Every structure is written in structure tokens, then in C-alpha cells.
Structure 1
Amino acid sequence: MTTTSHGPDAPFALARFRQRDSPRLGLVARDRIRPLTPEDLGAASLNDFLADAAWDRLAALAEQDGEWMPLAGVTLTAPVEPRQVLQTGANYRQHVIELVAAGLTNSTDRTIDEAREAAARMMDDRAAHGEPYFFIGLPACVVGDDVPLVLPGYSEVHDWELELAVVIGREAFRVSREEALDHVAGYTIVNDITTRDLVFRKDMKEIGTDWYRAKNAPGFLPTGPFLVPPPFVDGSNLNVRLELNGEVMQDASTSDLLFDIPALVSGASQTMPLLPGDMLLTGSPAGNGQHWKRFLRDGDVMTGTIEGLGTQVVRCVAETG
């Protein structure tokens, strides 16, 4: 069982907790949580609430007496119920520069400094004139950190990628960058687990990437534990930090995003409407297992923290049977 002793830094946030094995929506304020009814929300469901995101209603509840319980006494699960999950690739500038520079030094006679300068120019041109790179994930993979991460036995190269996730509020379809933040209901944490040896097809390399098999095993999107309202989050400058068994593996800032949150929401909305409660992952910084040549093993514990959004603790277990 996973418990969280204190909430995020925000005055209040949403969470879902297990009550008789069924998830129930709750309001978190400091180290307390209280269950929320449809009457409290003013909406029939979480996603219906997010469509309007009447956070002022919950701000008032956070100051009132009620059925408050210690946060440490409940088991939290994923705070969202998305119908769609969109993921962003190659979106941290410094991370991508290092990857491109490594490729250039292997394929040309450039020095590493020359390769980095060339890669930086490429990334700046991409940010100015290019478009974000999106692919889709399965909502069924979204779980809380109360669920152990089962490492499928068909591979030994399962990897971590801690990411800031945008949660959509009002439906967004072909919105501009200037309008995009009006469609954001909040933010949460996601660890986008990836099986590295399945990313590229071996039977027909011309097909390219196989994100379905590489990223969509059960539990491969540990999410939460909190959904924090936008007024309390500066998504343009948040520290993203992942520790593996206490050792820091990823430590970066969202200020390094090639495409910022308005660009991502706008870009993703051009193809398909983004619905209330949907998640848009913003990409992961340098420091994954592929970089360290160290992949997830039975017994590993990943502690992922994003500034202002709290901390998730994911425990890994080997697949049995």
C-alpha cells in the first residue's frame, strides 16, 4: 500500500483515493483529504467538472469543516480518468542536442563542440519553424503509484521518463497558442515507461517506431498523485527530478522545453479535439536508463518529483508466471 503524508505546495488540489477498493474523488488541502460528492463539484463526474474547472468552488470547500481525513491514512491512485493520452517526443532542448551531437560526431569528422553547435542551431530552427512530435498512448495504462510496476518478462530494457502532464479542461479543437492555456484544467506527474528494444521495428525498419508495443504494457503510465489547478503552477519553469533507489537520474527544468505548453496544446488540438480530462505529456529530459545504461529491475524504487505537484513513488516487480 502506498500512502502520501502531505499534499502538494498548492493550497488545494484534487486526488482520487481508494475506498473499499473503488476510487473516490477527494479534495486535498495540506495534509488532509475529504471526499467530494457531485453536489460538491457541481458536476456529475470529474471530467464534467474539468470541462468548466470551477476551482473557486473547491477553494471555498478547502476552508470549510467537513469529512476531513489524514492524507497519510488513505491510499491514493491516479487523479485523472483520461479518454485520450497524447505524448510528446524529443522536446527537451539540451537532451535532444546531446543526442543529435552524438550522432554527428559518429557520422562526420566534426569535433564534439562543433557537433553541439550544429545541433543547437538545428533545435533552435525546429523550435522557430517546426512542429511538436506527438504520438498516442492508451488510457488503460494510466494507474496510480499504489499499483506496482510489473516489468514484462519479454525484455530486460524497461526505462523511465518522468514528465509534466497537462490535463485538459474545456474541449480544445484547433485552438491558437494564445488561446491554449484557457483549455488547461491542471497539471500532474507521469512516468512514461518505455521498453527500449521494442521502439524500432526489427522485421521492417522502414516502418520506423512502434510506440504501441514499446509504451503500452499494463501500468506503463504511473500518474499522480495530485491534480493541481493552473493558478498554482508555472508550467514554464518547474524542476523535474527522478531518483532511482535514492540516486538522482533526471534533474532538469521545463524551461528547457523546445515547444512550450501553449505550443503543445495548440499543436495537438489541430488534428483531434482534446476532451476534458485528457492528458498531454510534455516530454522527458535527459537522464533516462538508456543514457545511464541501467534499466529497471525487480525491487527498484523510482521517486519522481515535479516542483509544486508533489511526489510519486513507483515500486518495480518482476513479472511472474
Structure 2
Amino acid sequence: MSRTHRSVVNWRPPVTSSSEGLTADFALARFSVGEGKPQLGLVAAGRIRPLSHEELGADSLNDFLAEAPTSWDRLADLAQGSASDDSTWVSLDDVTLEAPVEPRQVLQTGANYRTHVIDLVAAGRAKNDPRPIEELREWAAEMMDARARDGEPYFFIGLPTAVAGVDAELELPGYSNQHDWELELAVVIGKRAHRVSREDALDHVAGYTIVNDISTRDLIFRKDMKEIGTDWYRGKNAPGFLPTGPFLVPSQFVTDPHSLTLKLTLNGDTMQDAVTDDLLFDIPALISAASENMPLLPGDLLLTGSPAGNGIVDGRLLQDGDVMVSVIEGLGTQTTQVRAEAVSS
């Protein structure tokens, strides 16, 4: 069954190649054909071919990632065959792309873009705050710089069951109408990391992928017991709320993960547009801190936070028929089509 764009109410996305924006020599993906089971594939030059355990040199994707970066070398020669007439290679447009990873753990980072937090502080100032907006922004900037210098990253846990492939529609649960987007660079863990130093942290990165961390805004803070604070379980973990991929890009093809551009458009309008150099805590700091109290396992996802441009700020949240296009420099393009849950009357 060929993968096609679905019709949407508000906007029809341009027809583009699945590999648009992918600059790596090769990458990994998981895919299915027709009603077949998901399988692991090697992606190169806009094509994909299945990978056997023998070609992978491991019994599973996570076993392969545990040996990264050296395990990537086993795939380099195979990738050269993408230009051949070998029938094992097929167009990406003729398969359904699943999530490219199978994480056992998903760690998410909150409030980790400096400009984003400053914007939130300014937007949420109390009505009786006498300070001019620029003074408030300067105060917030000083606070963020102090946090980056002396503080620690803020983590919470997501559910692997929320991870979904890019060709799956995002169904908005009917229990709320305040579902929002959060484009994020995601780190894919390679070899097991437990209490690693910042200096050694990047040795534990197998690769990178794109994640859109969908959030239900009115459920994040408990109304019945405000003292508890945030409720990340209900606010973020509905089925499909972590569209992931389309590709797992090897770390060696991401020269500097702290200088990547991120852009999310909604029905063609730019909503998020940032660079990862605005991270409060960089990737080594995140891995080191996250691994302090629990081991990070091969294939785990570590989300690095989302920049400014979420819908809640302007009151424009996700609706039936919306189409989000998320791009992170070098990692490909993720297109997510949205539909509202059919609620019986």
C-alpha cells in the first residue's frame, strides 16, 4: 500500500519526498508494507531496504545501538548500494514509516530554552506588576543565566507507548480541546550510561531524531489539588502523543548538535523557529544529570526541550484537520496530520 497524504479540512500539505531535509549519508528507519509487520530498514538517497539480523550484526535495534558508534560502520557499505538497481531498495513513498526507535525509557526536559522561558515569564506577569516589560525580561534573563550556571536540568518521564511513527495520524482525545505542539531534538542513547561525566556523555549518544511532544495544556496542572503541581502523565502521554522520526540519524553525521535549526509550521504558518544553541543545559549536561540516578539504556529517548512558539501563548491550539510540518536541520522532515477523536453523542 503506498503512503499518501490524507485530505485535511484546513490545508493540504505540499507533496514532498520523505527524505527531504535528510543530509546524512544513511540513516535507520522502521517501516511496514501493506499489512505487514514493522521491520528495520536502512535509508539512503530517498530509498529504503530491509535489514536482516546478519546485516545488522545484532539481534535487535537496541543491541545494535549498544555498540554505537562502531556498529554504524557495518552499514556504510550497504548504503552505497542505494544507487543500484537492486530490488531490495524501494522508494520511501511506497512504505509506511513507523517510529525509528523502540525506547524502553523516555526522559523529557522541561524549560530548557532560554528565550522560551524568558518569553513565558514576560507573557505571564501579574497584572499588578509595575515593572516595564523590558525590565521584566532582563530579570528573567538573569534568572536563566544563574540557573544555567548553578542549577540542574528539570526532567520528567514519558511513556514509550506514546511514541508513534510519522505516517500515523495524531488523534486528539475528546476529553480536552487544548492540545499543543512542542518540537524537540531527541537524543537516542547508545551504550548504557550510568553516572557519566559531561566529558564522556557524548560517547553514549548513538544518534538523533525528531520528536513532537504533544501536550494537553489544561491537564498539566492539577486543579483538584494544586499543591501536587504538574500532572505529566495525563498532560502528555495519550496514544500517539510523541510523533517520532522519520529517521534515526547516526551521531557521526551530526557535527554539532548545538547549532541545529528547528522549525515547525502549522498549516503552512511558521510557529516555532529556533536554534539549539539557545539550550540552557547542553546535551552533555543533560545526559550526565539524567544518568545520575538511573541508567540510560540503549535506544532510550532523551528529549532536550522545546523552543518558543507553542500554541498556548497565542491561544491557537490543535484542531481537526491541522497539519504540522516539523524540520530539524539534517534530520529530515516530519509531517503530522491531525484529526479529532470521534466522540459519540
**TM-score, with length taken from structure 1:** 0.97
Mapped contact 1:102–1:115 kept (Cα < 8 A)? no
Mapped partners of 2:176, 2:56: distance in 1: 44
Structure 2 equivalent of residue 193 of structure 1? 214
Q: CA RMSD in A?
A: 1.3
Cα offset for 1:101?
A: 3.0
Determine if contact 2:320/2:340 at 8 Å carries over to the other structure. Answer: yes
1:1-321 map, 5 Å: 1-2=3-4, 5-7=17-19, 8-19=22-33, 20-53=35-68, 54-64=71-81, 66=86, 67-104=88-125, 106=127, 108-233=129-254, 234-320=256-342, 321=344
Residue 9 of structure 2 aligns with which residue?
none
SS in 1 for 2:288: helix
The 8 Å contact of residues 198 and 288 in structure 2, kept in 1 or not, is answered as yes
- In 1, the alpha carbon distance for the partners of 2:57 and 2:67 equals 10
Given that residues 18 and 333 in structure 2 are in contact (C-alpha distance below 8 angstroms), is that contact kept between their aligned partners in structure 1?
A: no
* Gap runs ≥5 in structure 1: none
Would the aligned equivalents of 1:104 and 1:110 in 2 still touch at CA under 8 Å?
A: no
1:57-116 CA-partner distances (Å, limit 9, x unpaired) = 111211135521122221111100000000000000001012123445645321111111
CA distance in 1, matches of 2:242, 2:96: 18
Q: List alignment gaps of at least 5 residues for structure 2.
A: 6-15
Residues 83/241 of structure 1: CA separation in 2 closer, same or farther (3 Å cut): same
Residues 270-292 of structure 1: CA deviation (Å, up to 9, x unaligned): 11100000000000000011012
Q: Within 1, Cα distance between the matches of 2:118 and 2:269? A: 24
> Per-residue deviation at 1:6?
4.5
Identity fraction in percent: 69
Q: Give the C-alpha shift of residue 208 in structure 1.
A: 0.2
What is the CA–CA distance in structure 2 between the aligned matches of 1:253 and 1:72, rounded to whole Å? 29
Where does structure 1 differ by over 6 angstroms across 4 or more consecutive aligned residues?
none
SS at match of 1:22: coil
Equivalent-residue separation in structure 2 for 1:159 and 1:102 (angstroms)? 17
Distance 1:107 1:302 in 2: 37
1:2: how far off? Answer: 4.9
Q: Secondary structure at the match of 2:171?
A: strand
* Post-superposition offset of 1:5: 2.6
Describe the SS at the equivalent of 1:63.
helix
- CA drift at 1:165: 0.3
CA shift digits 1:174-209 (9 cap, x unpaired): 001101000000000000000000010000000000
Question: Per the alignment, in what secondary structure is the counterpart of residue 263 of structure 1?
Answer: helix
**Does the CA-based 8 Å contact 1:14-1:79 persist in structure 2?**
yes
Separation of aligned partners in 1, 2:36 and 2:271: 33
Q: Tell me the distance in 1 between the aligned counterparts of 2:158 and 2:200.
A: 25
- The 3 A distance-change label for structure 1 pair 2 and 88 is farther
CA distance in 2, matches of 1:181, 1:106: 44
Contact 1:157/1:196 (CA < 8 Å) preserved in 2? yes
Q: Secondary structure at the match of 1:55?
A: helix
Provide the secondary structure at the position in 2 that maps to 1:17: strand
